[in-house]
Amino acid sequence: MASISLRVNGKSHTVDVDPATPLLYVLRNDLDLHGPRFGCGLGQCGACTVIIKGEAVRSCIRPVSTVQGADVTTLEGLSGDGKLHPLQQAWIDEQVPACGFCQNGQLMTAKALLDKNPTPTDAQIRQGMAGTLCRCMTYYRIQAAIKRASKTIASARNEAGSEVIA
């Protein structure tokens, strides 16, 4: 066991765990952040996705010791000031989730995708999201919601000049 310092959703935490512990279990069990979920423990499905340094990261295979000092964002940290992120709003507008269990991974992967490429083509969305699995098969609406959010973000950018909303 070791004392590990983490910064998650803008807050600092110190936990006493085995440094090899996957970040996922620290987020879920020590910090009670239940957005990221266990799906495979192998980095294959994406249900555990968080964002670190702008990258969608599979927290189920990332040792907690390797993220010391980095800013971690979970689904809970996606909205700010009580306002949903445009992706979350698009998810509601498109009524995307079925069971919803994988949607953490879908949203967080889409966030990293749009941050890098605010106006992805259909093919780029398919390719960028291909590793994030949904067994309810809500893919069709997820892709529609990403396009919707992309437009919302673009129009907000236009309205706000250079201000970045997302």
CA separation, residue 73 to residues 11, 40, 59, 111, 137 (Å): 10, 20, 11, 11, 25
- Site membership for other proteins, residue 139 (CB under 8 A): yes
Binding-site size for other proteins (CB under 8 A) equals 60
Q: How far is CA 34 from the centre of its chain?
A: 12
Specify the residue, 54 or 100, whose C-beta has the smaller distance to other proteins: 100
The shares of helix, strand and coil residues in the chain, as percent rounded to the nearest 5, are 40, 15, 45
State the Cα–Cα distance between residues 85 and 95, nearest whole angstrom. Answer: 15
The region of 18-26, 51-59, 148-156, 157-165 touching other proteins under the rule CB under 8 A is 18-26
- Site membership for other proteins, residue 113 (CB under 8 A): no
Specify the residue, 53 or 135, whose C-beta has the smaller distance to other proteins: 135
Question: CB 46 → other proteins: shortest distance, Å?
Answer: 9
Q: Are 33 and 96 in contact (CB under 8 A)?
A: no
Q: Give residues in contact with other proteins (CB under 8 A).
A: 1, 17-18, 21-22, 25, 28-29, 32-35, 37-42, 44-45, 47, 74-76, 78-79, 84, 88, 91-92, 95-104, 107, 122, 125-127, 129-143
